[in-house]
Amino acid sequence: MEEIDCELLVIGAGPGGYVCAIRAGQLGLDTIIVDAAQLGGTCLNIGCIPSKALIHAGNAFHNAMTFSAGNPLGITSGPPSIDLAATMTWKDGIVTRLTSGVGGLLKKAKVRHVTGRARFVDGKTVDVETADGVRRIRAAHVVIATGSEPVELPQLPFGGKVLSSTEALSLTAVPETLVVVGGGYIGLEIGTAYRKLGAQVTVVELGGRILPQYDAALTKPVSDRLARLGVEVLTGASAEGLSRDGETLLVRIGEDIREIDAEKILVTVGRNPVMAGWGLSELGLEMDGRFLRIDDRCRTSMREVYAIGDVTGEPMLAHRAMAQGVLVAEVIAGGKRRWDHGAIPAVCFVDPEIVSLGLSPAEAEGRGIAVDVAMFPFVASGRAMTEGDDSGFVRIVCRRSDGLVLGIQAVGNNISELSAAFSLAMEMGATAEDVAATIHAHPTRGESFQEAALRILGRGLHV
- Which of the residues are catalytic? 442
Q: Which amino acid is at 9?
A: L
Residue length of the chain? 463
Sign of the CA dihedral running 147, 153, 157, 158: negative
Largest Cα–Cα distance of the chain, in whole Å? Answer: 72
- CB contact at 8 A, 214 and 224: no
- CB contact at 8 A, 406 and 398: yes
C-alpha pair distances (Å), 51 with each of 92, 180, 187, 259, 369? 11, 15, 10, 28, 38
Contacts of 200 (CB under 8 A, 6+ apart): 176, 177, 178, 230
DSSP 207: S
Helix (H/G/I), strand (E/B), else coil: 289: coil
Label residue 68 exposed, middle or buried (CB < 10 Å: 0-12, 13-18, 19+).
Answer: middle
Label residue 299 exposed, middle or buried (CB < 10 Å: 0-12, 13-18, 19+).
Answer: middle
Cα 190 → chain centroid? 12
- CB contact at 8 A, 293 and 285: yes
Contacts of 121 (CB under 8 A, 6+ apart): 127, 136, 279, 282
The runs of H, that is alpha helices, within 151-210 are: 165-168, 185-196
Sign of the CA dihedral running 23, 29, 34, 38: positive
Helix (H/G/I), strand (E/B), else coil: 34: strand
- CB contact at 8 A, 183 and 207: yes
Contacts of 301 (CB under 8 A, 6+ apart): 285, 286, 293
C-alpha pair distances (Å), 400 with each of 364, 366, 369, 457? 11, 15, 8, 10
DSSP 416: G
For 337-369, the DSSP string reads -----S---EEE-SSSEEEEEE--HHHHHHTT-
